[in-house]
Amino acid sequence: MANPRDKEFVEGVIFTFPDDLSNVEVERIEPITKPDATIKFSPNRYIIEVKLYDKNDPEKKEMKHFGDGFKMRVYFLQSDLDSAGGIDNLKLAYHDGTDWTVFEEDGKHKFKKKLKEQGPWIGYCTLKVKTWVDPVMSLGP
């Protein structure tokens, strides 16, 4: 990890916070919620569900707004690519409790996909997040 404030999880997810968000803590929620497929998105691999809060808050009240935002990197496996039918069809989405929302490559999250082998991972997605709604994240076609 290049940044000491990075929060890295074995599921292949890295949260990177800028200096002004150094107080943010990331807590994994277990067991992960597994919402069903909808017309918008069909989950293949459920990745992670986390809560973000101010580490100085003893009540761990969930944080939802992050100013200019923070960065996320989500790694994917060959099986993710195979299930999606290739990198062009691979999507990353979150479930807000009602429906799946797919991160768009030309959207506000600056979502990008890249093939680059690193350990068990075949590539990764990057995005920028300014608001958080305690989502479940998934990769799929």
pLDDT in tens, 71-123: 999 999 999 999 999 999 999 999 888 899 999 888 788 999 999 988 899 99
- Read off the pLDDT of each residue in 42-49 and give the average, rounded to a whole number: 92
Burial (Cβ within 10 Å: 0-12, 13-18, ≥19) of residue 15? buried
Per-residue pLDDT for 1 more than 50?
no
Angle of CA points 52, 53, 55, to nearest 5°:
130
The tokens for 111 are 């979502």
Percent over 70 (pLDDT), the chain: 96
pTM of the model: 0.90
Q: How far apart are CA 117 and CA 76, in angstroms?
A: 10
**Which sequence spans correspond to the domains of the chain?**
7-140
